[in-house]
Amino acid sequence: MHPAASFERRQQLVRNTLARRRVAALLVLHLPNVRYLCGFTGSAAALVVHAQGSAFFTDGRYIQQARQEVTASELFTEGPPLPAALAWIAKHQSGTLGFEGTHITVADFSLVRHSLGRRTQYKDASGLVEEFRMVKDDGELGRLRAAVDLGGRLFEHIAPKIRPGIAEAKLAAELEYQARLWGAEGMSFESIVAGGIRSALPHGRASQQPLPRRGFVVLDFGVILSGYCSDMTRTVHLGRPDARARRLYGAVLKAQLAAIDAVRPGQAVGRVDAAARKVLAAAGLGRYFTHSTGHGVGLEIHEPPRIAKAQRLKLQPGMVITIEPGVYIPGEGGIRIEDMVLVTDRGCEVLTPTAKELTVV
Ligand code: ZN
Ligand code: ZN
């Protein structure tokens, strides 16, 4: 599909929902949502989706870029984006204005109310665009696959360099340098490299600490490619693992496989979370699994759905989520294994290509 056609299709889906909810226009300020709906990749923008079309606002720095990228919306480049959008709304729109409550600042919302006055009605439309973003189209899946593959190649590149004495930050630096050389626009988040007892920190940012002679090392990282994020975690063991280390690793792997096994269309995400939790509880490790099982990934590293306890949202084909159970034992160490998984018509496909059996270095 031609890019402009896919943006028109996405905007039309939003428009249908607005009509159903009796909202005349939606003010979109969250940049990943702006990008999803009109293709703009810059850092200053506002988009108004309304019954007849859409209007895009940016400032002078982005005139050329906006002309190239934004082909399915009316263009305004006199900026700054929000005041320009509000002036346009005041002139051309009436009726209820939808806004993104989870993304607008108090200051910006006062500006909205000040500019449009009390006659305008406002409706919080938080999550409206994100709901469409959960199900990826073919173009998005292609980009996500490319990002995941690059992540896998980076792990192959870095794995031989993991050894006692090397600083966590040096491994992260090597990983991130290579990511850029291989085409990544950036990392999806600050790379996690956590060795020894630091592996018990679920989000142990790579530090200057050298890796110990024995113990687990958790590596959790991702790249951004064509705007789409990857996310993977592998845990390796320095030195010969004892029986307990093998047992812990085996339990996390079993939990991860059980959760993947539960991924299929129609399944409530809470049940996927429960599948992982059940395995770890049976191994007596339930209380060491201190976070949720996974999250959606796409233009943002964390986006809906949340694969967490008691969540009732049902999986649909085209959703891409992570499955990442872990155990973290204070003063001892931690293990997490994370793959990206695509929900298919019949079950799921694990996108992450990297092996998961316990690697000893
Ligand atoms: Zn991760
Ligand atoms: Zn993740």
Q: How far is the CA of 188 from the centre of ligand 2 (A)?
A: 10
Q: What is the mean pLDDT of the chain?
A: 97
**pLDDT-based confidence at 1, cuts 50/70/90?**
low
How far is Cα 272 from Cα 267, in angstroms, rounded to an integer? 8
Neighbours of 254 (CB within 10 A): 16
Over residues 71-86, the mean pLDDT reads 96
Q: How far is the CA of 163 from the centre of ligand 2 (A)?
A: 25
Please name which ligand lies nearest the alpha carbon of 232.
Answer: 1
How far is Cα 255 from Cα 270, in angstroms, rounded to an integer? 14
Q: How far is the CA of 352 from the centre of ligand 1 (A)?
A: 12
Please name which ligand lies nearest the alpha carbon of 322.
Answer: 2
Q: How far is the CA of 61 from the centre of ligand 2 (A)?
A: 34
Please name which ligand lies nearest the alpha carbon of 223.
Answer: 1
Is the pLDDT assigned to residue 122 strictly greater than 70? yes
Q: How far is the CA of 37 from the centre of ligand 1 (A)?
A: 26
Please name which ligand lies nearest the alpha carbon of 233.
Answer: 1
From residue 344, how far is each of 19, 52, 300, 340, 347 by CA, in Å? 30, 34, 21, 13, 5
Is the pLDDT assigned to residue 4 strictly greater than 90? no
Say which residue the tokens 């050894």 belong to.
Answer: 163
Is the pLDDT assigned to residue 272 strictly greater than 90? yes
How does pLDDT run across 300-317, given as a tens digit for each residue?
Answer: 999 999 999 999 999 999
Q: How far is the CA of 244 from the centre of ligand 1 (A)?
A: 25
Is the pLDDT assigned to residue 79 strictly greater than 90? no
Q: How far is the CA of 50 from the centre of ligand 1 (A)?
A: 37
Do the beta carbons of residue 84 and residue 109 sit within 8 Å?
A: no
DSSP secondary structure string for all residues of 274-296: HHHHHHHHHTT-GGG--S-SEEE
pLDDT > 70 in the chain, percent: 99
Element (H, E) at 319: none
How does pLDDT run across 148-158, given as a tens digit for each residue?
Answer: 999 999 999 99
Do the beta carbons of residue 41 and residue 51 sit within 8 Å?
A: no
User: Which of 359, 297, 284 minimizes the C-alpha distance to 324?
Assistant: 297
**Which residue stretches of the chain are H helix?**
3-20, 31-38, 63-69, 81-92, 106-116, 128-133, 138-158, 168-181, 243-261, 269-282
Q: How far is the CA of 266 from the centre of ligand 1 (A)?
A: 25
Please name which ligand lies nearest the alpha carbon of 291.
Answer: 2
- At residue 5, the pLDDT reads 79
For residue 211, what are its two tokens? Answer: 């890796």
Do the beta carbons of residue 340 and residue 148 sit within 8 Å?
A: yes
How does pLDDT run across 160-187, given as a tens digit for each residue?
Answer: 999 999 999 999 999 999 999 999 999 9
Say which residue the tokens 């996310």 belong to.
Answer: 231
Secondary structure in 3-state letters for 7-44: HHHHHHHHHHHHHHCCCCEEEECCHHHHHHHHCCCCCC
Please name which ligand lies nearest the alpha carbon of 323.
Answer: 2
DSSP secondary structure string for all residues of 214-246: SEEEEEEE-EEETTEE--EEEEEEES---HHHH
Q: How far is the CA of 16 from the centre of ligand 2 (A)?
A: 32
Q: How far is the CA of 338 from the centre of ligand 1 (A)?
A: 6
Is the pLDDT assigned to residue 71 strictly greater than 80? yes
Q: How far is the CA of 205 from the centre of ligand 2 (A)?
A: 14
* Residues ≥6 apart with Cβ < 8 Å to 20: none
Q: How far is the CA of 305 from the centre of ligand 2 (A)?
A: 12
Q: How far is the CA of 139 from the centre of ligand 1 (A)?
A: 23
How far is Cα 335 from Cα 219, in angstroms, rounded to an integer? 10
Please name which ligand lies nearest the alpha carbon of 191.
Answer: 1
For residue 33, what are its two tokens? Answer: 């949502």
How does pLDDT run across 30-61, given as a tens digit for each residue?
Answer: 999 999 999 999 999 999 999 999 999 999 99
Ion ligand 1: residues, CB within 5 A, are: 220, 231, 233, 338
Between CA 159 and CA 166, with CA 160 as vertex, the angle to 5 degrees is 90
Do the beta carbons of residue 185 and residue 225 sit within 8 Å?
A: yes
- At residue 2, the pLDDT reads 66
How does pLDDT run across 98-111, given as a tens digit for each residue?
Answer: 999 999 999 999 99
Neighbours of 170 (CB within 10 A): 16
Over residues 115-131, the mean pLDDT reads 93
How does pLDDT run across 196-227, given as a tens digit for each residue?
Answer: 999 999 988 999 999 999 999 999 999 999 99
- At residue 121, the pLDDT reads 94
Q: How far is the CA of 231 from the centre of ligand 1 (A)?
A: 5
